[in-house]
């Protein structure tokens, strides 16, 4: 079996000034497939420090096109703000659009949701699992950045379990309840009820 370190490799890094602060962007590629992932780092730390991190799966519609039918773009923005406010941290940006089904299939799933399905039903109707994402690349990325102990910004327990399975010490989970709108409230409720995401029920309301 090919090891994770052989499957994913670091390519290059560069300064990335953003509206939130000046980050460094680190590029990684998966051998064989050419799939690319990036990490944004901010500040500095020692190897035994607890570093705030966010694992964020690519969402073109939410991150770049400002869609409000999901909470992805809101969470990306808040995670970057949290990292800068903390003085250091890492955002792992994974190319896993639509919980791993790809952009065009996500649009097909959106169409089914427009017809009345929820996000889980739509993915399964298209022949996919509810969540197709994997996280083994996070180990290579965090090792490269000398991050061993993390405070994970997430509402998704699968991400916590995935990092622990990779021998990454998740010291704490920090909720990232942000960006709940009338357009995505049903979507977030579905993630809570069917995928186990931990949102504050008071924010979701009735």
Is 131 considered catalytic here?
A: yes
Q: How many residues does the chain have?
A: 206
Q: Which residue out of 63, 71, 118, 131 is catalytically annotated?
A: 131
DSSP bridge pairs for 168: none
Q: Tell me if residue 206 is catalytic.
A: no
Residues flagged as binding site for GTP: 54-58, 75, 97-99, 119, 154, 159
For residue 49, report the phi and psi dihedrals to the nearest 5 degrees: -75, 155
Sheet holding 8-17, edge to edge: 8-17, 22-30, 36-42, 89-94, 50-57, 149-153, 169-174
CB atoms within 10 A of CB 167: 8
Q: Per the residue annotation, which of 114, 133, 177, 200 is the catalytic one? A: 133
Supply the residues annotated as catalytic.
Answer: 131, 133
């Amino acid at each position: 079996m090919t090891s994770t370190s052989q499957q994913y490799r670091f390519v290059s890094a560069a300064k990335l000034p953003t509206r939130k602060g000046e980050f460094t962007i680190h590029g990684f590629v998966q051998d064989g497939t050419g799939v690319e992932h990036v990490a944004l780092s901010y500040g500095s730390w020692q190897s035994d420090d607890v570093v705030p991190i966010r694992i964020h799966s690519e969402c073109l519609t939410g991150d770049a096109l400002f869609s409000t039918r999901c909470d992805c773009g809101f969470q990306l923005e808040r995670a970057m703000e949290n990292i800068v406010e903390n003085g250091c941290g890492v955002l792992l940006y994974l190319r896993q659009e639509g919980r791993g089904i790809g952009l065009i299939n996500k649009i097909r799933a959106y169409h089914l949701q427009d017809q009345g399905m929820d996000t889980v039903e739509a993915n399964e109707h298209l022949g996919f699992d509810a969540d197709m994402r994997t996280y083994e690349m996070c180990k290579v990325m965090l090792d490269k950045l000398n991050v061993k102990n993390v405070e994970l910004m997430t509402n998704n327990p699968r991400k916590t379990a995935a990092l622990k399975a990779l021998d990454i010490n998740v010291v704490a989970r920090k909720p990232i309840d942000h960006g709940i709108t009338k357009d995505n409230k049903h979507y977030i409720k579905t993630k809570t009820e069917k995928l186990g995401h931990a949102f504050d029920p008071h924010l979701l309301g009735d």
